[in-house]
Amino acid sequence: MVSEQAPERSSAPSPAHRDRPWRGIMVATALPLRDDGSVDHDAYARHVARLIAEGCDGVVPNGSLGEYQTLTDDERARVVRTAVEAAGDGARVMPGVSAYGAAEARRWAEQA
């Protein structure tokens, strides 16, 4: 006879997953823009700081929301620096490294 009960799972992370930086709540952050289309870094810093203050474990700048595709390399790097500074010690910042090619994605990963 086959049991229909799901196996019990421990809520503790397994040893293989304990040190992964993406555990917990990691938010793919929206990037506020000014009317002229430039990044509002002050508003973004406040947004990141509030997410961390409200209990998020970290943020993912240049993540899955797509704004990063419209940024220059310098703007994209500054978004990451803004997130790191605003998140503070103890919070995780896991920059998105998506790109149109492997070489460019690798460059973003190395910068992260």
Query: pLDDT for 43-59, tens place per residue?
Result: 999 999 999 999 999 99
Rg (CA), the chain: 18
Model pTM score: 0.74
What pLDDT score was predicted for residue 4?
Answer: 59
Q: Where are the domains of the chain?
A: 26-111
Q: How sure is the predictor about 9, in pLDDT bands with cuts at 50, 70 and 90? A: very low
How far, in Å, CA of 34 to CA of 1, rounded? 63
Q: CA-CA distances (angstroms) from residue 14 to 7, 19, 90?
A: 16, 10, 21
Write the DSSP assignment of 75-89 as a string of letters: HHHHHHHHHHHHH-T
